[in-house]
Amino acid sequence: MLDGMIIEELARELVKAENERRPIQPITEKYPGITIDEAYRIQLEVVRIKEDRGEKIVGKKIGLTSKQMQELLGVYEPDYGHIMDVMMCFEDDSIDTSSLIQPKVEAEIAFVLKRDLEGPGVTAADVLRATKGVMPAIEVIDSRIEDWRIKIQDTVADNASIGRVVLGAKLTPVEGIDLRLIGLVFRKNGEIIATSAGAAVLGNPAQSVAWLANKLAEYGVKLRAGEIILSGSLISAVNVRPEDSIVAEFDKVGSVTVHFR
């Protein structure tokens, strides 16, 4: 068991690694017995440190929504992290890769909530009723852990490896749309490198958000009206470097573009 002092120390190390863009040794190597619950305690301490310096929570992200990634890390459910206001980027502004450590990109359907969602017992239908609309999104993931040598506890402690979030310009109501069938064409520097559909995210992106609402209930936390919820990537993460241009085109939902410098 990790005591409170170690939890705080590891959280400070992760924040310092992000600030200085110098990754740290995997936490699971330093503390092989760390539990997922302890990793979430570290994540919450990271968020507290960021709030104390003026950052605000604007949403949540869900990760590990594909069976392949879960099997890779030896887990059987997704994970989640917090989106802070300073992580949000505009499409028209390029992202400086030197502000990150080892970035990759993912394509996601983002939910914008119009009502609170509080588990347990939240269903996909509840999620759709509470959703103002969905938006195309690119999540720039980044790890404060050396060389992405992560186990589930490492990425959970590291705020689910979130770096930046880019939303498209279009907010689409969910009425009449089967989110499972939303097609995706993903381009890097003009070349199609992946295609997918909404069903790649736990069978239905709305089910992914329901999972999050129910998971957060274990900690007495609810999803709040106005929050942005990244429901999980439709594709495997793609490495990016300076001069790369990424476009994610979603059927019915619109497109989102991000450039790197």
Position 165 scores a pLDDT of: 98
d(CA 78, CA 212) in angstroms, rounded, equals 9
Residues 6+ apart with CB under 8 A from 19: none
Strands (E), the chain: 57-63, 79-84, 88-89, 104-113, 131-141, 162-167, 183-188, 191-197, 228-233, 238-239, 245-250, 254-259
Position 75 scores a pLDDT of: 76
Position 193 scores a pLDDT of: 97
**pLDDT by residue (tens digit) across 170-229?**
999 999 999 999 999 999 999 999 999 999 999 999 999 999 999 999 888 899 999 999
Position 92 scores a pLDDT of: 81
- Residue 258, classed as helix, strand or coil, is strand
Here the tokens at position 35 are 């539990």
pTM for this entry: 0.94
For residues 110 and 228, the answer to whether their CB atoms sit within 8 Å is yes
d(CA 203, CA 193) in angstroms, rounded, equals 22
Which of 90, 96, 92, 91 shows the shortest CA–CA distance to 261? 96
Q: Which residues pair with 237 in a beta bridge?
A: none
Q: What architecture does CATH give domain 4-259?
A: Alpha-Beta Complex (3.90)
Write down the residue that tokens 């509080």 correspond to.
118
Q: Which residues of the chain have pLDDT under 50?
A: none
Which of 55, 140, 159, 153 shows the shortest CA–CA distance to 91? 140
The structural domains of the chain, with segments of one domain joined by +, span 4-259
Position 67 scores a pLDDT of: 74
